[in-house]
A and B are shown apart, each in its own frame.
Chain A
Amino acid sequence: MKSTEPPKTSSWMGKYRSIIFAIGLFIIFDLAVLVATFFMSQQIADDTAALNLAGRQRMLSQRIAKTIYVAETEQVSSQLSAGTLKELKNASAQFDTTQRGFSVGGAATDTAGQDLKLKPLGGATQQDLLKQIATLWVPYIALVDPLTGPIAPTAETIRKAADYSRTNSNKILDLANQLTAQFEADVKEKTNLLRIAQVVGILLALANIAYIILALIRKLRESDDLIEQRHREYTHIMATVREGLFLLNKDGTIGSQMSASFPAVLGQPAAPGMDFLSILKRLVPEKDHEAATEYIALLFGDRVKESLVASLNPLSQLELRSTEGADDMVSRFISLQFSRVKTGKEITHLLVTAQDISERVRLTQAVKDAELRAQEEIKGLLDLLELEPAVSKRFLVDTEQSLDAINEALRGAGQTRDYPSTISEIFRRVHKLKGEATVHNLTLFETLAHRFETILSELRDRPNLNGDDLLVIPPHLEDIYSRTAKLRSLAERMSSKDAHIVQSAASGHEFGYMLESLAEKVSANQKKKVRVLTDVPDFGSLPEAKATMLRDIAIQLVRNAVVHGIEDANERVMSSKTETGSIHVTLKRLDANKFEFAVRDDGRGVIPEHIRESLVKSGRYSRAEADAFDERALVMKLFEPGISTSATIDNDAGRGVGLDVVAEKVKAMGAKIRLGTRPNLFTQFNIIFAAAA
């Protein structure tokens, strides 16, 4: 998953563009008003200075006239003072400097005596007034200048100046008044203009602020609406999404938002703020919990790429431990997926998605099982087709008969309520079925029988077996029934030969060959070297019922000989024997109706101590009881169900059923059985029976 990025700057700018534009405008307005105020204030200050100077010109024109008249009076009384002339000089010079300053610009002094720089007046009316003043002033200064020069003025010079003054002084005063009025008007006009500019600027700024506020409020409302809408949608999603969703904090707690279905998916109470790993601890075995803790830590670290460790997720398929006891019969599977959530480059959370994948897992398992079943059936079919049609058909018929007998035993258990005996009987039948399957190399049936035996073995070991325990059997029985029926149907369809069920038992040759094949297969499984020598020419002459039972006995005895009797090659060599063990199977006719069947192996013999150990191991006898049995009694115990001297349980031995079957068959045949053995030399079973009852 991609990390969550903050909104891009461009989009952020776009969102608030109008407000930013308005704020910019506001600043521009303020700056414009500021600049205009500054500029106009400067102008007003300049104009005010000019106004003052114009007012001073008005005063100076009168002072010049007055000084000239004083000088004229003093001249008449011959008392012309230097002070008067000096005053005239200063006044005229000041007037002249200001007049030039107004006209063409230049230095001047203000009314406070400070130097200032005058700019030429810009207004046409002002220039016109200045020209008129200049027209009067130029001749006037020409008449005044001689009065203030180094040479004492004559009466004539003073009179001329006084005459000109009397004629033009008031004109100059009038013009200076006009100029002053003009300046006043300018200042007033500019002051008004400044006021208007300020008012307009402030009004525009206020309007701008109002716009900004309104725009901001609108944007906020839009954002609020959007947030509200998203929150609503988000709430709906979290309330209805079927997956469990939440953000896992770095401290292992569930984030503040969590989909409502998460507790249901998990089958556990869960809420924001709870410690996720603690919840997990209740659901998974310790080993998985540790793996999950490490995986989450790995994802929060930034050393590994998320995609590389995704396949290591130990929680991608989790079988939930039931917390409701045996009542909760259906296993549930959930998947927990983790994705990094980044802010910038930092991994801040993990997005956890929890999904109930029970159905998916079940379907996958069903497909796998179906494939396995199909493969088993095909293999079973091929194995069957390898047999002679008559043999395969007989096997299937025998199997169905065995299953019928097992079912009858189950049905009968309801009446007898002797459940241990029922289980033992079923065990014998299943073991016989397995033996037949092994003889014919029918792996499927061998496996099915072995599975069945495993269940029966558990039942047999239960202390207080009751009817309720039998419930496990019918489904397995049905499984073998249905497979047998299916294979029978398939085999019949595929077999081109119009085979018929062999009514009689196999010939002596076939019987011998069958036992040799069995020994070969079992010895290969046991990794032993065994040779079977058979001498059973009269087998074909036995009635079918006896032949079938004898065949069952022979299968068990030969299997026992290979598994229990014959030692492995090393052990044999240590005992000064050949590596290959021998089993002799013979059937001798003792008289017209009597036969003796014998199976002899040159193995380790029956060792009483081994039988004692097995009796104790079976739990049926205490050590003291086992020790009390003499050798004969011990040997007889071998024929009890559930006693085996084999250390391990495999397809060939270990369940303690083989000799149990033999004993049952011997009884059914009305035969006698004898066991002869010598430690480290041989074991021989002799069965004497009558062909006809």
Chain B
Amino acid sequence: MNKKDISEVELRVFITAVTEYFQALAGEPAQVRSAYLGADLSVPQSYDYTGLITISGNYRGCVYFSCRQVLLRRLLVCMGENDHSESNLLDAVGEVANTISGNARKHFGAALEISVPVTIHGPTESIRAAVRARPFVITIDWLGQAAIVMIDLERLV
């Protein structure tokens, strides 16, 4: 495999962040359901909340987490938050992206520059980073709710 390609170990850095975050929050880890190559960066329309981080430095590209509103509501409940307003939902999805960012920083160190999470409600068509022809898509499941982690990243060194 080309050394500049993203390896399984690197994919795990992002995925573990998400699964462990849910585990810590609800005592129930998120399960990986499948991992495949996506045709582009768009996600199913029904995944309407997205938290995205862009990465530069030794890596380039973006990573995002998308899910349905119902998952975020359950997440807020687990956090003891009863206010499920739009801003709180966006904060919740942003927090997941933030966790991915923190785990990535911990593993890849200072060589990785990570943006603050951008949160989006609605389709992700506006995301145009696309450094890979086929980004990595990992679908996960938490308490019966599906979510997706998209990794469109390439290693520069």
Contacts and interface: CB of A to CB of B under 8 A. Distances in A.
Contacts of B87: none
A330 B107 contact: yes
Contacts of B32: 466-468, 470-471
Interface in B31-48: 31-37
Contacts of B108: 330
Interface in A463-483: 466-468, 470-479, 481-482
Interface string A531-564: 0000000000000000000000000000000000
Interface in B48-62: none
A97 interface: no
B32 to A, nearest CB: 4
A386 interface: no
Given A329-B13, A410-B35, A410-B36, A474 B2 contact: no
Contacts of A407: 36-37, 134
Nearest to A366: B3
B35 A470 contact: yes
A411 B139 CA distance: 9
A370 interface: yes
A471 B34 CA distance: 8
Contacts of A411: 34, 36, 137
Nearest to A363: B157
Contact of B1 (A363, A412, A467, A476): A476
B136 interface: yes
Q: Is the interface of B mostly helix, strand, loop or mixed?
A: mixed
B130 interface: no
A481 B37 contact: yes
Contacts of B133: 481-482, 485
A413 B3 contact: no
A373 interface: yes
A414 B5 contact: no
B22 to A, nearest CB: 14
A346 interface: no
B7 A475 contact: yes
B26 interface: no
A410 B7 CA distance: 17
A365 interface: yes
Interface string A412-441: 111001000000000000000000000000
Contact of B15 (A329, A373, A471, A485): A471
Interface in B111-154: 132-134, 136-140, 146
A369 interface: yes
Contacts of A370: 2-3
A467 B2 contact: no
Given A370-B3, A479-B1, A481-B134, A414 B37 contact: no
Given A475-B5, A478-B5, A329 B37 contact: no
Given A365-B3, A478-B5, A479-B5, A473 B134 contact: no
A418 B100 CA distance: 28
B138 to A, nearest CB: 7
A337 B11 CA distance: 36
A485 B2 CA distance: 14
A474 B5 CA distance: 11
B24 interface: no
Given A365-B3, A369-B3, A373-B2, A474 B13 contact: no
Nearest to A327: B107
Contact of B33 (A362, A366, A414, A481): A414
Contacts of B134: 407, 478, 481
A471 B11 CA distance: 7
A482 B35 contact: no
B86 interface: no
Contacts of A417: 33
Nearest to B9: A329
A634 B11 CA distance: 42
B24 to A, nearest CB: 15
Interface in A21-80: none
B137 to A, nearest CB: 8
A474 B9 contact: no
A475 B31 contact: no
A362 B11 CA distance: 19
A476 B7 CA distance: 9
Contacts of B2: 369-370, 373, 479, 482
B33 A474 contact: no
A403 to B, nearest CB: 9
Contacts of B5: 475, 478-479, 482
B60 to A, nearest CB: 16
Contacts of A373: 2
A485 B132 CA distance: 13
Contacts of B7: 475
Please provide the 7 A-B residue pairs with the shortest distance between their CB atoms, ordered closest to farther. A414-B34, A410-B36, A467-B32, A414-B33, A468-B32, A467-B33, A414-B139
Interface of B: 1-13, 15, 31-37, 107-108, 132-134, 136-140, 146, 157
6 contacts: A330-B108, A370-B2, A373-B2, A413-B34, A470-B36, A485-B133
Given A369-B3, A472-B8, A474-B35, 13 more contacts: A330-B107, A362-B3, A414-B33, A466-B31, A467-B34, A470-B35, A471-B35, A474-B11, A476-B1, A477-B37, A479-B1, A482-B2, A482-B133
